[in-house]
Amino acid sequence: MQIDDILHQRYSICKCLHTEEIIELGNCGDIQGEGAQSLAIAISIYLAENLEIPIMPHPLCVIYQWRLVELDSQISTERINSQAIAINLFQDLSQNISQDLSQRLYQLSQSYNLAPKVQAFLQLESDYYLVRDYQEHYQYLTEFKDLLQDYLNSSSEPAKSITISELSTVKALQSLHSSANDNSWQTRFISTLSKISINRRQMLTHSGAAIAGFAIALLFASPKPKPQPLTIVTSAPIPEPPLDPIQNKDKAFRDNFGNGIYMEMVQIPSGRFKLGSPMTELERRDHESPMIEVNVSTFYMAKFVVTQEQWAAVMGSNPAIFREDLQAPIENISWLEAKEFCQKLSSKSTYKYTYRLPSEAEWEYACRAGTSTAYHFGDRADQLPDYAWFKGNANQRSQPIGKKIPNPWGLHEMHGGVWEWCEDVWHDSYRGAPADGSAWIDGEGYGRRVRRGGSWSNEAKLCRAASRDWHWQGDRYNDIGLRVVI
């Protein structure tokens, strides 16, 4: 695939940030011959969307594009001592100079690990492209000038004045249309650039890959005529990146995955509670004891169990048995498949969050929502139909989410609906369980995984907050689903 095709498919230009003939190179030891004139490096810096990363909105990046331009058409490339430049700046490249240029530039970029990080080096004929992570207010033009000036200083070559010239274009990106008759953009650019304060940044510990790209560009690029002026097409304002709701301590938020698919998350405050059921609780079972005190840190839990629509959007298939309504819970999935879903969901998160299954302690703490009764609404099972789908009202099948009264923390159908996989390995009691709310993943029960909450197929006693059971991690049943946490 041609490089211009790669650029066109990977990046979408939003606007031009800077354009300049960054510095003149004239009458120095590398330009031989009487009456030698100057060459300049013409640079354009673009703000772009990285289309290669499949999230919405697309992350922003910065594309540098630079070339040698001829300030006097009588100058020829033979008058540039390219070998001297290479030896002065990159002695380690002199023996490998015949290697493929694109490959060499990419290799050099791998050693560049300072922010904003290099994503790619590309070459299109004698034009060179450097793709960087975007950081707001970062002085990209200043850094480019500093790096080049460092090279000139290290070579003991005089640097002449910085000049402004026409916009040099990324020819692979066709969204900017040229117009030979309209030069009105020049006045605006000169006015704007004249106000830029250039403060040298000392953030680089080594010149790294970026200087290498500039030097090799000097080695191989053929001087070109000044590029034709372009009319800059004003694009729509770029929306500010969304604030991180967790860092912002939002009580609830939506993580949007595109195409109308999102995950509604609710903040679960930190606190202390007793895990398990007291000996006086009706219908309790022995493996719900002994009760232990657990301290739980703040986390976020999904308002609803994962639906069939969400599962299909992430996993590409719908294994559920009851498929008449895509807003019904996903079921007929194993614990292993639930873990895979969490990994893929994390890769699609707008905020780069890591989704996972809840620990058993987190699940019961969130279900109780500050209460200590058999159900979050009290001890009376006759009230359960208002809060849950269970054997008494579910008509022998799962039902769409969000139809029942939520608990005090805004979580729906924590009782009944479908059993919910937890991270923990099964243990027959709580003796030795973690007291910090983390998942209990060691012990002899490995391969057996905890499920919580009861389901549409169970009697009320199995839908209590303390009710727990297990299945093998590869088992699939039409009454087991999942709820995710961050």
* Domain ranges for the chain: 3-220, 252-481
Could you list the beta-strand ranges (E) of 51-162: 60-70, 118-124, 127-133
How far, in Å, are 80, 449, 458 from residue 297 at the CA level? Answer: 65, 23, 31
Please tell me the distance from the alpha carbon of residue 263 to that of residue 203, in angstroms, as a whole number.
39
Model pLDDT for residues 211-244, shown as the tens digit of each residue: 555 555 455 554 545 555 545 555 567 666 668 9
Residue 64 has pLDDT above 90, yes or no: no
The answer as to CATH 3.90.1580.10 being correct for domain 252-481 is yes
Please tell me the distance from the alpha carbon of residue 357 to that of residue 360, in angstroms, as a whole number.
9
Closest CA to 422 of 401, 396, 440: 440
Can you give the pLDDT at residue 16? 85
Model pLDDT for residues 103-148, shown as the tens digit of each residue: 444 554 455 445 677 777 776 766 778 888 888 777 888 777 766 6
DSSP 203: -
Can you give the pLDDT at residue 179? 34
Q: Give, in degrees to the nearest 5, the angle at Cα 289 between 286 and 293.
A: 170
| The pTM of the whole model exceeds 0.85 | no
Could you list the beta-strand ranges (E) of 259-417: 262-268, 271-275, 292-296, 299-302
Joined tokens for residue 186? 């020049």
Is the separation of the CB atoms in 333 and 482 below 8 Å?
yes
Please tell me the distance from the alpha carbon of residue 81 to that of residue 83, in angstroms, as a whole number.
6
Residue 167 has pLDDT above 80, yes or no: no
Region for 220 from its dihedrals, namely left if φ exceeds 0, alpha if ψ lies in -120 to 50, beta otherwise? alpha
- Give mean pLDDT, residues 436-452: 90
Model pLDDT for residues 175-202, shown as the tens digit of each residue: 333 333 334 433 443 343 333 333 434 3
